Amino acid sequence: MINRRNVLQGMAAGVALGSTSLGSTSLDRQGKKQGGAGSPKRVVFFLQNQGFDPATCVPTGMKESGTLAGVDLPEPISPLEPYKDRLHIIDGLHGRHTSPSHSAFFGALGGYRGGIGVPPAGATIDHVISGQLPETLLPHLCIGMDAIENMISRPTLATLSATGAGKPVFMHSNPKLLYQMLFGGIATGDVKRKFEARSVVFNRIEEIAQQRSKTLPASERERYGGYVNGFREINGLREKLDTVSDHLRKFAPEYDDKFVNPEFETDWHDSLLEIGISTLKAGLTNVLTIGSGRGEIFGSWKGLGVVPAGHNLGHMKQPNNPIWIKIRQYNCRMLVKLIEELESIPEGDGSMMDNTLIVYTSNNADKQHTAGANWPFMLLGDLSGTLKTGRYTRVGGKRPINALYTTLLHAIGAPCDRFNMEKNIAGKYDTHLGPIEELLA
């Protein structure tokens, strides 16, 4: 049941600030443009629920690792054909230790045991990457796509990302509210009025919360302090965004009818993607996490002509299924839009996309009710030349998803031997120490 207290708690927790990445077009915590040595980097994580069957992404006949040149991509990912030279398909990673079943939840990006109601056991790879790169004005931004009634009733939800053990990061799912939070200060009309009204309310809530927290027992004070800090950071973020209003105007998405009067949930999905792309192009954040289905077993795509929704979709086999072809192609068109938008912004001797990596997978390994024996991934972009592209790599089920996350940390210049995997666990579930060398350039 949704009540005002739960909504306010979610909003406060959902915008807590953290350290993230930085590029030549990025803004630091003070709203100043940043430069610095070396190429800027940014990473986008896109997770589709209900699994990612390898038969829907591995080219027909490819049994061994090799080049993608001269082969056709499967129909579900065919929109990526023009970008095949930037694509790396990875088959045969596993996540058996994450207990995915219907979803690994935080374990999908954390590489540890997940499950319904299981709190995060540690920081997830998206947040760790954001913390290893220089700070920007925003924390790494998480957006979640779902059925429209769910996005309205639960505008924030935490299931995929975390800053540490027991510290989830909330996804934003209502594009109107997210637009108001990020661009309300430069908006006009009703959006501006709502932004100003919410600002007054949030300031007052922070004052009241801070006063009352002093009277609580010590056992409650720390937990309550998290809500106080959440509202303090909302208010602080608003002030910082005000200082870069001229810069934001160049990149703010058009607040069109899809925001205000969506016909289908996909209108809001598209609107959320527009906001995410705008934050990347404006340099507000360099780490974006997208949860299609929000890490759960729900979700709806009626805007694609798909009538089945939620859990029922997971019971359908994905290969050669016209319903799943529509959903996967819709995902891939979103990936193409990300590529094209980032290509449109010059950066260094190339474009923003030259310094970007898009990671596409599922929070559910290969299918619903999975044991996680095969967890396919697609990488788009070479992240400033640190990763190989135009390739298919078959890992063979001997290395966990943690090994890929270790590889990503090597690619951003923060090498480690293992990601979120103790030696004893690694001895059981991993055959090597360090990154997957076949992926590194």
Domain limits at 72?
21-182+262-439
In this predicted structure, the answer to whether residue 13 has a pLDDT above a threshold of 60 is no
In this predicted structure, the answer to whether residue 3 has a pLDDT above a threshold of 80 is no
Percentage, residues of the chain above pLDDT 70: 80
pLDDT at position 133 is 87
Give CA torsion, residues 348, 438, 164, 355, to 10 deg: 10
Which of 297, 389, 440, 359 lies closest to 125, judged by CA?
Answer: 359
pLDDT band at 192 (very low <50, low <70, confident <90, very high): low
Please state the domain count of the chain: 1
For the packed helices 175-183 and 265-281, what is the interaxial angle rounded to 10 degrees?
20
Average pLDDT in the chain: 86
List C-alpha distances in Å: 23 to 19, 43, 110, 131, 286.
13, 11, 25, 14, 8
pLDDT band at 240 (very low <50, low <70, confident <90, very high): confident
Query: Among 30-44, 71-85, 286-300, 326-340, where is mean pLDDT lowest?
Result: 30-44
pLDDT at position 29 is 42
For residues 265 and 301, the answer to whether their CB atoms sit within 8 Å is yes
Does the residue 78 lie in any domain? yes
Does the residue 51 lie in any domain? yes
For the packed helices 218-243 and 189-213, what is the interaxial angle rounded to 10 degrees?
150
- Rounded mean pLDDT, 195-202: 54
Query: Among 234-238, 255-259, 330-334, where is mean pLDDT lowest?
Result: 234-238
- Rounded mean pLDDT, 44-58: 97
- Rounded mean pLDDT, 193-205: 56
CATH, residue 37: 3.40.720
For residues 366 and 54, the answer to whether their CB atoms sit within 8 Å is yes
Does the residue 318 lie in any domain? yes
Does the residue 266 lie in any domain? yes
pLDDT at position 137 is 87
pLDDT at position 208 is 58
Strands 87-91, 346-347: pairing is: unpaired
Percentage, residues of the chain above pLDDT 90: 69
pLDDT band at 189 (very low <50, low <70, confident <90, very high): confident
- Amino acid, single-letter form, for residue 224: Y
Q: Which residue has the higher pLDDT, 249 or 441?
A: 441
For residues 47 and 362, the answer to whether their CB atoms sit within 8 Å is yes
Does the residue 379 lie in any domain? yes
In this predicted structure, the answer to whether residue 420 has a pLDDT above a threshold of 80 is yes
Q: Is 312 helix (H, G, I), strand (E, B) or coil?
A: helix
- Rounded mean pLDDT, 332-339: 98
Integer-rounded Cα radius of gyration of the chain: 21
pLDDT band at 245 (very low <50, low <70, confident <90, very high): confident
pLDDT at position 60 is 94
Does the residue 247 lie in any domain? no
In this predicted structure, the answer to whether residue 290 has a pLDDT above a threshold of 70 is yes
In this predicted structure, the answer to whether residue 27 has a pLDDT above a threshold of 80 is no
Which of 351, 336, 340, 285 lies closest to 43, judged by CA?
Answer: 285
- Rounded mean pLDDT, 297-321: 94
For the packed helices 125-132 and 401-411, what is the interaxial angle rounded to 10 degrees?
10
Query: Among 11-25, 157-171, 186-200, 401-415, where is mean pLDDT lowest?
Result: 11-25
pLDDT at position 7 is 34
Q: What is the DSSP secondary structure assignment for residue 94, as one 8-state letter?
A: B
pLDDT at position 19 is 30
Does the residue 239 lie in any domain? no
pLDDT at position 101 is 84
Query: Among 67-81, 129-143, 144-158, where is mean pLDDT lowest?
Result: 129-143
For the packed helices 218-243 and 4-14, what is the interaxial angle rounded to 10 degrees?
60
Burial class (CB in 10 A: 0-12, 13-18, 19+), 303: middle
Does the residue 242 lie in any domain? no
In this predicted structure, the answer to whether residue 23 has a pLDDT above a threshold of 90 is no
Residue 261 C-beta-side C-alpha neighbours within 13 Å: 1
